[in-house]
Amino acid sequence: MYPLARPLLFALDPERAHGLALRSLDLVWRCGLRPLVARRPAPLKVKVLGMEFPNPVGLAAGLDKNGEHIDALAALGFGFIEIGTVTPRPQEGNPRPRLFRLPAAQALINRLGFNNAGVDALVRHVEASRYRGILGINIGKNRDTPNESAAADYLYCLQRVYPLASYITVNVSSPNTQGLRDLQQRNALERLLGRLRDAQERLGSRAGSRKPLLLKIAPDLDDPAIDAVAEVVVRLGIDGVIATNTTIRRDELEDEPLAAEQGGLSGGPLYGPSSYVVRRLRMQLPRKVPIIGVGGVLSGADAAGKVAAGASLVQVYTGLIYRGPGLIAESVDAIRRRKEAPSSTGE
């Protein structure tokens, strides 16, 4: 069905098409017509972060920022869902237009700027959802909160979502909130994550259940910066890393008229840089610290490539825009073949 719907969606403004596609998925789910949209993959169970995932292919944060479409998205066959990024207070994000397609490169540029309805709205939506699978919630800071006070925003979101999340992701890597990426610098990162780790332990003791805390990083870090992130993750006991967010680089896009648009680039051109970060992190981190690989997954081969690079789990987003929900089962099947191959060591 998606090959028929894509030309219509691509004829619309990208942000309008995004909303229409999600509303259409909700309708399909409510009417029980999911088999017309996507084939659910056969189970490929994997144990990561102390949880058993039905398969290793998940939805990346950003597609369902407010957690309004969890049930419909889960019905497509994802092994896990990540929603957000959410901030303490609602915010509109950056002015429109702020989302751009680059079809020749199978890429997107976005400068959305953490547009979301606020953490209280997200909590209400999650509570109303029927989904009982693995749910990640991605947290950030409001754009008008200075970095010196950022920890308070992250702590507030952590406290609000902790009872509902399977894991929580700390997003310090979006290029669309001014100064946010400065929080990836070693000293700032240690201060922020140290406070969040303390809160994680307190909340876990109080709830009787410790929820994993993950860090999402940028693909634009150089090797010393990647290594510094890995050192902080190990020292503070962060449970995992998501690699990566979007890139500000525009390599090999000289002929794309929209390449000059500001914002984060995702899709095909991100595959190489993000996979490099996965490989570098895998060399620096102990095996017990899992990596979720995301960025440029447009085919099953790409998903299997993330696993080959060292990822335990894979997430998709832009690939869904260009390939549709069929990408999910294709990716699971490709990872299965890799794991079953005689030369594969598995994950």
Neighbours of 194 (CB within 10 A): 14
**Chain center to CA of 145:** 23
Asked if 205 is an active-site residue, the reply is no
State the Cα–Cα distance between residues 119 and 339, nearest whole angstrom: 38
Contact 192, 154 (CB under 8 A): yes
State the Cα–Cα distance between residues 133 and 124, nearest whole angstrom: 17
Neighbours of 35 (CB within 10 A): 11
Name beta bridge partners: 264: 110
What is the amino acid identity at position 292?
I
State the Cα–Cα distance between residues 206 and 269, nearest whole angstrom: 44
Contact 266, 236 (CB under 8 A): no
Angle at 229 between CA 157 and CA 253, to 5 degrees: 90
Nearest CA-CA partner of 115 in 144, 98, 94, 88 = 94
Nearest-Å Rg of the Cα atoms of the chain is 19
Nearest CA-CA partner of 49 in 161, 189, 168 = 168
Task: For residue 76, give both structure tokens.
Answer: 């497509």
Q: Which of 129, 173, 174, 331 is catalytic?
A: 174
Q: Which residues are designated catalytic?
A: 174
